[in-house]
Chain A
């Protein structure tokens, strides 16, 4: 009897299942299955041509113990994060506070800052490749480096300057997103707090340091962690600005090789697909940790 009731109930509900069938099917085949299959692949050696060959934790052991290129990639990723995230966040806070004042053309400034977010990273990278052109033809070389009295830098061909060049471009490309989030965060600060401070005679800078910055902290934490996650996974600008792929991904001497380009190189240039899957899962672990930190911090409420 209970079974029959179950089937009746299911029949009544079947329209719900039909309605989610298409997205769920595609989601299952192209998101869930690959995620699970990737775990399996990470324990094998697989080069697409021969069937996967089980190696247990061999890939993970190799990555952690012997892989110097992995260490280089992680080091570069950390340098990239340390450079891009603080500058991107601090500049964005200042810009957001500036735009939030009683000024004209707010939407114009917001729009301009947001422009690179809708531009593809490929197109932005191509633009900046030209701005960073070597010798004295490059705009940045001529108008900044040489005006400051230095010799022109061969930005994207030098092992020292490739990563900083990409970092500068990334700050430019990502800042609008942070600014918009900070402006949204500023709206949550009650106007009464400012008014109270004004009654006490607080000036602009005083209010900035003692009201805006402390009360904006939840947004800052959120933006910092989001930026860390997306910087961790930087790929396209590295791919395009270090010559556009082939075996050159990562630039001269791997000077700008970060983690995801390294995974891509192992997986799709060398076809070490098992090894690349193991790399991807190690990276996923880092991202998960960041996500959990994010959830913990963002959920904690702030009292005014």
Chain B
């Protein structure tokens, strides 16, 4: 069969050449900011503000990282962020798949109404909730605590529930009934039948929740004002507002903030891109 591709190869190789050229220019544009960040973060002070700007380092140094770590406890912030991410991910994976199972396979009074309420919340932008959310957290005494950073975030589980519910809905009822006849209770069905079958959902949920939480600026910005409780994005934003000259140090901070998430991305690239294409989720 004669496909578009064969034609393209034989008759329009010039078009293919243009396409490669275009994509390579695009790639350079996309990667240049990262390269510039990385290269600036290992330049000695004297090489950073030079004229013309140089794309290479003459005397690489880790001084910007030392400056950064002397000024702010970046290690502590990375641990804070990791702690928040891991807790929220574990909770969401567990709670969303369990609730998704219930909404997909159980019949109970009020089910559709409760599910619709969850769905409707997907339309609510964060700026509508954030002020009362802040007041609630303040009254609970959770300002500057992990509770304040973690627990309200767990409430935003509508999308995860929706995703799990859609997936679990397609699992045949026979499987569940067979387990019931074998004497499994609901909890055992969830553990032994549902969980092993929803691994793709678990992966998608876990990865996206991790990325979202790692990059979340707004909630920590509102909830945290002590130095010890900052998360990585918050620390970087504050650092940026205080930096007007030491760009090496600022770029070192940006490198430290992006590296963990880039590792996650490189590990799960296919999963992430497929997840976006299928669900419209945004990282």
Contact = CB atoms under 8 A, between A and B. Distances in A.
Interface string B117-134: 110010111111111111
A19 B20 CA distance: 52
Interface string A86-101: 0000000011001101
A41 B2 CA distance: 65
A24 B114 contact: yes
Contacts of B151: 26, 30
**Chief secondary structure at chain A's binding surface:** helix
Q: Which of B101, B135, B155, B278 has the most CB of A within 10 A?
A: B155
A126 B232 CA distance: 13
Interface in A87-146: 94-95, 98-99, 101-103, 107, 109-131, 133, 136-139, 142-143
B149 interface: no
A172 B283 contact: no
Interface string B169-197: 00000000000000000110010000000
B111 interface: yes
B111 A16 contact: yes
B283 A16 contact: no
Interface stretch (B58-66, B72-80, B198-206, B211-219): B211-219
Interface size class of A (residues with CB under 8 A): 35 or more
Contacts of A99: 23
Contact of A16 (B108, B237, B242, B277): B108
Contact of B218 (A103, A130, A226, A235): A235
B51 A142 contact: yes
B276 interface: yes
Interface size class of B (residues with CB under 8 A): 35 or more
B261 A120 contact: yes
A287 B125 contact: yes
A198 B2 contact: yes
Contacts of A245: 221, 237, 241
A19 B254 contact: no
Contacts of B125: 233, 280, 283-284, 287
A298 B147 CA distance: 40
A114 B134 CA distance: 33
Contact of B3 (A9, A116, A195): A195
Interface in B136-166: 136, 138, 151-152, 154-158, 161
Contacts of A23: 95-96, 99, 154-155, 157, 161
Shortest 10 CB-CB contacts between residues of A and residues of B:
A244-B241, A30-B155, A120-B215, A102-B5, A34-B132, A37-B132, A13-B108, A26-B155, A184-B277, A34-B129
Given A129-B240, A184-B277, 20 more contacts: A16-B108, A20-B98, A30-B133, A35-B128, A35-B132, A103-B20, A103-B23, A109-B23, A109-B26, A113-B30, A115-B30, A122-B257, A127-B37, A128-B33, A130-B247, A131-B33, A195-B1, A198-B7, A233-B125, A280-B127
Interface of B: 1-5, 7-9, 11-12, 15-16, 19-20, 22-23, 26-27, 29-34, 36-37, 40, 49-53, 95-96, 98-99, 101-103, 106-109, 111, 114, 117-118, 121, 123-136, 138, 151-152, 154-158, 161, 186-187, 190, 211, 214-215, 217-218, 221-222, 232-233, 236-238, 240-242, 247, 250-251, 253-254, 257-258, 261-262, 264-265, 269-270, 272-273, 276-278, 280, 282-283
Interface of A: 9-10, 13, 15-17, 19-20, 22-24, 26-35, 37-38, 41, 48, 94-95, 98-99, 101-103, 107, 109-131, 133, 136-139, 142-143, 172, 176-177, 180-181, 183-184, 191, 194-195, 198-199, 203-204, 207, 226, 230, 233, 235-236, 239-240, 243-246, 260, 263-264, 267-268, 273, 276-277, 280-281, 283-284, 287-288, 291
